[in-house]
Structure 1
Amino acid sequence: MGVVSTVLIVLLTLFFPPIGVLAVAGCGMDLFINVCLTLLGFLPGTIHAFYVLYVYYDRREQARIGAPLPPRASGIYSNRVQSGGMHGYGTM
């Protein structure tokens, strides 16, 4: 993903948090948790969505520079987010 798509995902996440989670984590437990948090209150859903985005883009950058495998981020269930979207990175 390029800079433009990253900015677009962040802007969409500001207005509807589950869209950002869906874009990086896909349809799974992280999306379900985010939808529930957003229904409970907009702020908890937004915080969770930005946490998922942060972990995803941080892991993506670490994989790009060849950094060693970091420990699993707590509260993130998607292997795609845990690996930063890089195939084979972060999987055992």
Structure 2
Amino acid sequence: MISAILLIIITVFIPPVGVYMIAGCGADLLINICLTILGYFPGHIHAFYIEYVYYNKREQAQQGIVDNRAAPGVYSQNVQTGGSGYGTMAPTH
């Protein structure tokens, strides 16, 4: 809970750092950096979307719900799995 609050505070001020903390260095981070350069608010919207998907998938995994559908616009496998089962989820076809 505390880490989520800290993540939100960081994302409010510097959206790419929040995305980096969740998704790592990859396509999601690059997209967020570009959106933040184009305008501060598009970067926020993207960052909070990435964080929402991550925590939603994480909560579903804790409840035993397996949702293999990929969230649109999210390229990080860590975000797609909610950080659980990283690299062990069945691939979606």
Q: TM-score, normalised by structure 2?
A: 0.91
Match of 1:47 among 45, 48, 52: 45
Aligned to 1:81: 79
Matches for 1:1-16 after TM superposition, within 5 Å: 3-16=1-14
Q: Deviations over 1:5-34 (max 9, x none)?
A: 110000000011001100000000000000
Counterpart of 1:72 in 2: which secondary structure? coil
Q: Which residue identity does 2:11 align to in structure 1?
A: T
Structure 1 unaligned segments of length 5 or more: list them. Answer: none
CA distance in 1, matches of 2:66, 2:3: 26
Conservation of the 8 A alpha-carbon contact between 2:68 and 2:90 = no
Does the 8 Å CA contact 2:54/2:81 hold for their aligned counterparts?
A: yes
Give me the CA root mean square deviation: 1.2
> In structure 2, do the counterparts of structure 1 residues 68 and 20 end up closer, same or farther at CA, with 3 Å as the change threshold?
same
Alignment TM-score, normalising by the size of structure 1: 0.92
Could you tell me whether the CA contact under 8 Å between 1:17 and 1:49 is conserved in 2? yes
Shift of 1:87: 1.8
Aligned-residue offset at 1:91: 3.8
Contact 2:33 2:43 in 1 (8 A): yes
Identity %: 50
Rounded to whole Å, the distance in 2 between the matches of 1:91 and 1:78 is 15
Give the distance between the partners of 1:43 and 1:58, measured in 2 at CA: 22
Q: Which runs of 4+ in 1 moved over 4 A?
A: none
Look up the match of 2:66: 68
Equivalenced residue count is: 90
